[in-house]
Structure 1
Amino acid sequence: MNKIFDILQDTDRELRDDPSGMHVLVLRRSYDASPEELWDAITDPQRLVRWFLPITGDLRAGGRFQLEGNAGGEIRQCERPSLIGLSWESGGGSSEVHLRLTPDGEATVLELEHAPVPAEIVPNAAPGVWGLGAGWEMGLVALGDYLAGDLPEGRAIDWIAAAGPEQMAAASATADQISDAWVKVIGERS
């Protein structure tokens, strides 16, 4: 099997309604890691920067965080090694993100829930267009690559910027396939 096929098959994607008419975006992926190992990879700034973005702030419940060049917010829940709840403040809006880690034999399932997603975002999704679901999912794919030891050393934003045309084409193809999978999820709701 090829890597893109595995990525598409290894992620559960869901978009459901909430009582306010908005949507809840949910992704689930299983990682070959213990809950503690996965927790450290998503909370330790030295590890997070390897697969996602540099983060600063007071990284504990009640503290505020800022992702370099991206969103910031408040950490509202922090229950090691099973739950992180935070506000996601970006572009003048605010939403909630919850990360849940559940042991599953030798693996751990990470569930990411982002809500509310405005209803008007959903009909604007189109094949090949990066959306909220595809953006989160690309991060979760990078997390899996990091845990497997398949990422270069250094900060993710540095090695992405230095990627050659071949690596960029592969990443773009993966992003397009993930985006198309989200379009299918959205289409099934219509």
Structure 2
Amino acid sequence: MDPDQIDPAGEGRVLSPDDGDYLRFERTLEQSPAEVWAALTDPDRTAAWAFRTEFEPREGGAVTMSDGGSGEVLAWEEPHSLEYAWDGYGGRWQVRIAIAEHGDGAYLTFDHVGPDPNSPDIAAGWHWHLDRLEVHLAGGTPEAVDSDAHFEELQRLYAHAEG
């Protein structure tokens, strides 16, 4: 994946069911559900594409992040379902992840539940991290940066979509 190209199919969109808004990303991946699960839950691997995150692998288990955030695992069904929440910048963060078999690979559904699923900056941030996850899964090494030109382009894309 060329990091300077934005895949419109990879864009997040806000869904608004009766129980509240959430931001959804969907990705078709070439790797197996077990490989995607490992990239999402192994602390050394999460550090490669986002930030180091350690999980106590069970519902009700602890979540600890390298940036000092901490929270709890809300669902843990290896290798298909992960949900967790933590206290961080801007309030209580919560994500819900589903991984399904899709041909020889996997289909990833990533939902950002809170805070503010309508925020263009949050949408750009998760899109950027998921693009980095794809690079990692493909055997690449995303550059160890907090931002880059691709992230800035995603910020413009989502800010424009809001307006």
- What interval of TM-score do these two structures reach, taking the shorter chain for normalisation? 0.7 to 0.9
Which residue pairs with 1:147 in the alignment? 137
Amino acid at match of 2:33: P
In the TM superposition, what whole-angstrom CA distance separates every residue of 1:70-107 from its partner, at most 9, and x where no partner exists?
53311011111111011232236224310011222122
* Secondary structure in structure 2 of the residue aligned to 1:178: helix
> Alpha carbon RMSD of aligned pairs, Å?
2.7
**How do 1:32-111 residues align onto structure 2 when only pairs under 5 Å count?**
32-56=30-54, 58-69=56-67, 71-91=69-89, 93-111=91-109
In structure 1, what is the Cα distance between the partners aligned to 2:82 and 2:123? 19
- How many positions carry a matched residue from both structures? 163
Deviation at 1:12, TM superposition (A): 3.7
| C-alpha displacement of 1:184 | 4.4
Aligned counterparts of 1:135 and 1:103: Cα–Cα separation in 2: 26
Q: Please identify runs of 4+ aligned residues in structure 1 that moved more than 4 A.
A: none
**Who is 1:165 aligned against?**
none
* Kept in 2: contact 1:33–1:106 (CA 8 A): yes
Q: In the superposition, relative to structure 1, how do residues 29 and 70 fare at CA in structure 2: closer, same or farther (>3 Å)?
A: farther
Measured in 1, the distance between the counterparts of 2:13 and 2:102 equals: 20
Q: Which runs of 5+ in 2 are unaligned?
A: none
More helix by share: 1
The 1-side partners of 2:13 and 2:82 are apart by 19
CA contact (8 A) 2:92 2:115 kept: no
Cα separation, partners in 2 of 1:102 and 1:57, compared to 1, 3 Å: closer
